[in-house]
Structure 1
Amino acid sequence: MPAGGALKEATAMIARDTYLDLDPVTAHGLIRDGHAVLIDVRELGEYAAEHIPGALLHPLSGFDPRALPQDGAALILQCGSGKRSATAMAKCRAAGVACCGHIQGGIMAWKAAGLPTER
């Protein structure tokens, strides 16, 4: 699917409150265009060493879905490889907190796609 088509489909799925395994390029487009907020569920040391610009830190070790932004923005979860963010997504579902999905492959896949990080 062309990148534009994937972005359009992801935006539509967010509107339907469907959870997604997002590829990094689609997630980047949603975040860049203001359709979503990125939540980093890694630990503070990992975040301090390197993170995706604009990501909000909510470590899985103390993860409370009710502490996430509730301003109506779609939430995308992210970790190092995609495992912790999938766990956090399940916690969101159990708590009734809407999130649109997580970045499949985490920050490792984000960097492999050539997308920006900061220290």
Structure 2
Amino acid sequence: MKFRKMNFIVLVVLIFVLSSCSMFGKTFQQGVYEGTGIGYHKDDKPIKISVTIDSEEKIRDIKILDHGESDAIGSQALKDLAKKALEINDLSDIKIDAVSNATKTTNGFLEALQDALEKARNK
């Protein structure tokens, strides 16, 4: 009798664990998503990026599609920010240090990245 009771308890716990695993699936959908943000030259063009999310919820590629930032500082800052974003391990907690002399461009890039990730988020 004790053996059957123990088997039943183990079975119930196993069912609970397996069902909760499927309930808390992935947060972000695999695919390519675009996002926009306002950089230093807000009156020109917004920063527009394309973000590729893989099946492991990692950023695999970021492309700068369009921007109105300066060629000298802004363009290089966007390239540096895209490289830094590829190193992010937790898409729910985006932390990237600002590029020196390009704080507004950094903020615009982060806004565009958040916009793209919001589109990738499961709802």
Q: Please classify the TM superposition score into its range, dividing by the shorter chain length.
A: under 0.3
TM-score normalized by structure 2? 0.26
State which structure, 1 or 2, has the greater radius of gyration over its C-alpha atoms. Answer: 2
TM-score normalized by structure 1? 0.27
